[in-house]
Amino acid sequence: MPLADAVREVSRWEPRKEEWGEPMCEYKHHQAVVEAHQQPLLEGREFAQTILYIGPLAILPMPGELFSGISLRLRRGSPFHYTLCCSVTNGSLGYVPTREARHRGGYECWVGKAAGPYLLADHIDDALVEQNLKLLRTSQISH
């Protein structure tokens, strides 16, 4: 977000910054964006993924609290008979909503904004599913 837009949003939400929910989260997010403009721009976030498998069971640690839709997609596409998705077990990026949930808003999406200046991409669910299914398929081949 451009600095001028973030400054305008801080002013807009400041009168309501003590209200729980969306107002507090919007204020904190835009305040963090203003502060982030004083630092070099981050291009993205990386995390190491480790998949554990024991016979027909694959365990996927995830860097945040996944919405159930993401876990269901991973389980449905997994080549393993059982796939267990574990939240907040490989770091924490906060809540990881589906694209649909992000557009509906709500508590998890508001809190995600309050966590800092960088938001997860709208397609984070697709990226996590695609990359983890690729790793699961590779794991099964080498298994």
pLDDT tens track for 29-82: 999 999 999 999 888 777 788 899 999 999 999 988 999 999 999 999 999 999
Residue with the larger pLDDT of the pair 48 and 28: 28
End-to-end CA distance of the chain: 45
Cα–Cα nearest to 78, from 130, 123, 126: 130
For residue range 102-119, list pLDDT tens digits in order: 888 888 888 888 888 887
pLDDT in tens, 75-106: 999 999 999 999 998 777 789 999 899 888 88
The CA distance from 32 to 121, in Å, is 17
Cα–Cα nearest to 32, from 51, 13, 49? 13
**Reported pTM:** 0.80
Look at phi and psi of residue 88 and say left if phi exceeds 0, alpha if psi is from -120 to 50, else beta: left
Backbone dihedral region of 116: left (phi > 0), alpha (psi from -120 to 50 degrees) or beta? Answer: left
